[in-house]
Structure 1
């Protein structure tokens, strides 16, 4: 995750941020072993490469691997505390492609629309999955202890981080989630700080990006293209905001058809107007300009994620 706007294409591993910016009068809310013999272990591979040569973003497939490893470590932690915990499916590589500012993958749009089926399946799994069912089967006292062990409580101490764009986030210092992250990333306190900074940088550069004439020109061209198809939208967020209303009360198949029609128009207009390409290029430009003072935290974020990837390979492989 790069902590930026979710553009489409090969940036689909970008962080799912909430950002605020004014675009043509509209407020946009968006929602990146054994030493001495045999092959090198993950730890040896990690030590053999200088950090400055290996810093990069994780791919979507690598993010899936890390998240699966985290669940396995949470399972181990919960079982040690006397509770059961089931490792469930994490968000797939395919579904992550839909969390973007503007779709420009026409083939994906034709098959998935805006990914509504993925979201509905995930919600169903959360509601009726084994972990929720198990927690609800516990006594009130045991359920409270289960939640405390899994998520932590303020009584164990809290970590706090000031966000680049203002505001503060806090989390319990100790929990099975915290311990799992600590084992993957190396130090939970440091990880929490750099992760929250690196994934909340958009307020620093989005206002300048969305005010850039290259962006407003591409956005206006996209809007004209949509208008020519009978879709009166000034930006992609208007579609996202209206989608629930448009599909309310429809069957799953009918809702999917509505999604696909809108999504395909959006993607084809994004290609015609070059909106997604323009946005990606401008994000690189303005992010580099506006976030230099957080370079150390960004580098640490990338380094710790790569460390987690190596450790995740060992955890999942075992």
Structure 2
């Protein structure tokens, strides 16, 4: 999460911190708001990559139909090309590109799956409802994400300094209510349980991924990579 420092005048950036279940540090919120930069005017940006950039991208990631496909624990379908320099390097390193892609995607998305299970857990939903009632006097919002969206809608019509002040106000409200309702601690506690359950459910995939990773490490050492 990054911010312009708090006063709309670009004093710096917010230190990187993770708040997966809402900001729980009122002091941080007072200094950095949500950590979202406030725009200081429109900037024209090119929307099309140069031909040279496209050629480099094609060489690295491949072209044409994406032959590799797998579904994550959250139901997301992830696809990739089996040609290109990156795919060839993985094929050489891990021995089986298809197995590596499938297990790598699965393992890398277990954290997101645990987070999703937390947000669907009745215990967390109850804490979230308490949080929503807590922030209501300042802004109606069913979740921290909705509170950010509400700020973004209102900030469009404000000067940078005013938008920053509103962001800080909303963020401090979020943090105080997260503390008051134990939302973040509830989420973290539930995440440990759901993450453990997922590791059990995906034990075979995790073991296969570890085996392929070890194969890659041995290959790299053997060939001085």
How high is the TM-score relative to the length of structure 1? Answer: 0.50
Q: Which residue in 2 is equivalent to 1:289? A: 197
In 2, distance between residues paired with 1:248 and 1:256? 11
* Count of residues in Structure 1 that have an aligned counterpart in Structure 2: 198
1:263-302 → structure 2 map (5 Å cutoff): 263-298=171-206
Deviation at 1:244, TM superposition (A): 2.2
Partner-residue secondary structure (3-state), 1:277: helix
* C-alpha contact 1:158 1:170 (8 A) present in aligned 2: yes
Matched, 1:103 2:12: no
Larger CA deviation: 233-242 vs 291-300: 291-300
Partner-residue secondary structure (3-state), 1:115: coil
Deviation at 1:179, TM superposition (A): 6.5
Alpha carbons of structure 1 residues 218 and 164: separation in structure 2 relative to 1, 3 Å: closer
Partner-residue secondary structure (3-state), 1:233: coil
Deviation at 1:252, TM superposition (A): 3.2
In 1, distance between residues paired with 2:209 and 2:39? 31
In 2, distance between residues paired with 1:94 and 1:177? 32
Q: Which residue in 2 is equivalent to 1:164? A: 73
In 2, distance between residues paired with 1:192 and 1:99? 29
Matched, 1:195 2:116: no
Deviation at 1:99, TM superposition (A): 5.7
Deviation at 1:204, TM superposition (A): 7.1
Q: Which residue in 1 is equivalent to 2:166? A: 258
1:126-205 → structure 2 map (5 Å cutoff): 127=45, 136=50, 140=51, 142=52, 144-154=54-64, 158-175=67-84, 178=87, 182=90, 186-187=93-94, 189=97, 190-201=99-110, 202=112
Alpha carbons of structure 1 residues 295 and 256: separation in structure 2 relative to 1, 3 Å: farther
Deviation at 1:165, TM superposition (A): 3.6
* C-alpha contact 1:106 1:268 (8 A) present in aligned 2: yes
Alpha carbons of structure 1 residues 108 and 151: separation in structure 2 relative to 1, 3 Å: farther
In 1, distance between residues paired with 2:34 and 2:209? 29
Deviation at 1:248, TM superposition (A): 1.1
* C-alpha contact 1:153 1:172 (8 A) present in aligned 2: yes
The structure 1 residue matched to 2:152, chosen from 236, 244, 247, is 244
Deviation at 1:115, TM superposition (A): 1.8
Deviation at 1:111, TM superposition (A): 2.3
Alpha carbons of structure 1 residues 252 and 98: separation in structure 2 relative to 1, 3 Å: farther
In 1, distance between residues paired with 2:118 and 2:20? 19
Deviation at 1:282, TM superposition (A): 0.6
1:43-122 → structure 2 map (5 Å cutoff): 94-95=15-16, 97-98=17-18, 100-117=20-37
Deviation at 1:150, TM superposition (A): 3.7
Matched, 1:234 2:145: no
Deviation at 1:203, TM superposition (A): 5.0
Deviation at 1:287, TM superposition (A): 2.7
How high is the TM-score relative to the length of structure 2? Answer: 0.66
Q: Which runs of 5+ in 2 are unaligned?
A: 2-12, 221-225
* C-alpha contact 1:209 1:282 (8 A) present in aligned 2: no
Q: Which residue in 2 is equivalent to 1:63? A: none
